[in-house]
């Protein structure tokens, strides 16, 4: 793994996570504006934009797929850490390695299954059962892109965790892939508050 001062895996993944979170935020903000316009149009002008609910479904699917990666990089997935800190370092290392490699395996499986869905939509020229009759290959491609990003990032993280495990760098492995401790979460919240 590269150890240059100019490059770090953690920094790169955090920048990617921030980018994906921003994309998610803008998509959901645009959806909120459309839903508001739709609601006001129906209430006061008796008109409908038609298809806002369809766009909402696509936005939530793509946003969720992107959020998988953000949650992974930010270590926001739920893990029970009640006894984790009391375990000996080698066992903590093994559990943290197992956790990230399990997520990577799940990411690979998810990418495979989602590809079969995307392929079926392409093969059968599937369209949405809505007035727009949107060809599903387009929104599903964006959704699949988010799933592939998750699968790739989780695979890179699993490889990095394996490297740390094999080289015996337990402290770095536990810091990068272990559950967040309460003190770490409080520190992050205070830093976030100070940035605002």
How many angstroms separate the CA atoms of 161 and 119, rounded?
A: 32
Query: Domain map of the chain by residue range?
Result: 9-195
Q: What per-residue confidence (pLDDT) applies to 2?
A: 46
Structure token digits, residue 185: 């979460």
Q: What is the mean pLDDT of residues 54-70?
A: 93
Closest CA to 64 of 15, 20, 112, 128: 20
CA distance 15 to 2: 17
Check whether 1 has a pLDDT greater than 70. no
Question: Where is mean pLDDT largest: 23-32, 37-46, 90-99, 102-111?
Answer: 102-111
pLDDT bin (cut points 50, 70, 90) of residue 4 is very low
Quote the pLDDT of residue 79: 76
Tell me what percent of the residues of the chain surpass a pLDDT of 70.
96
Q: Which residue has the tokens 């059962």?
A: 129
pLDDT tens digits, 44-60? 988 887 888 899 999 99
Query: What's the whole-number mean pLDDT along residues 25-30?
Result: 92
Positive or negative, the CA dihedral 163, 8, 26, 146 is negative
Closest CA to 154 of 73, 80, 94, 90: 73
Q: What is the pLDDT of residues 145-196, one digit of tens each?
A: 999 999 999 999 999 999 999 999 989 999 899 888 777 777 778 887 888 7
Segment 73-87, tens digit of pLDDT:
998 877 777 788 888
Alpha-carbon distances of 65 from 48, 74, 87, 111, rounded to whole Å: 29, 15, 33, 11
- Each residue of 56-93: b (16+ CB within 10 Å) or e? bebbebbbebbbbbbebbeeeeeeeeeebeeeeeeebb
pLDDT in tens, 99-115: 999 999 999 999 999 99
pLDDT of residue 139: 95
Calpha distance 77→75 (Å, rounded): 6
Contact by Cβ (8 Å): 103, 97: no
Beta bridge partners of 135: 127
Q: What is the arithmetic mean of pLDDT over 10-35?
A: 92
Name the pLDDT band for 7 (thresholds 50, 70, 90).
low
């Amino acid at each position: 793994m590269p150890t240059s001062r100019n490059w770090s895996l953690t920094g790169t993944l955090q920048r990617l996570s921030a980018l994906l979170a921003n994309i998610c935020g803008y998509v959901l903000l645009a959806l909120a504006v459309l839903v508001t316009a739709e609601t006001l149009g129906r209430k006061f002008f008796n008109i409908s934009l038609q298809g806002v609910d369809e766009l909402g479904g696509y936005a939530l699917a793509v946003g969720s797929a992107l959020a998988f990666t953000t949650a992974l990089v930010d270590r926001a997935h739920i893990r029970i850490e009640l006894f984790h800190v009391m375990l000996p370092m080698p066992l903590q290392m093994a559990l943290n390695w197992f956790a990230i490699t399990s997520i990577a395996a799940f990411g690979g499986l998810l990418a495979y299954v989602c590809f079969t869905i995307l392929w079926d939509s392409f093969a059968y020229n599937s369209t949405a059962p809505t007035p727009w009759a949107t060809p599903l290959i387009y929104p599903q491609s964006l959704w699949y892109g988010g799933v592939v990003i998750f699968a790739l990032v989780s695979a890179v993280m699993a490889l990095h965790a394996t490297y740390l495990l094999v080289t015996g760098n337990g402290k770095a492995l536990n810091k990068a892939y272990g559950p967040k401790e309460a003190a770490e979460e409080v520190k992050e919240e205070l830093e976030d508050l100070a940035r605002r």
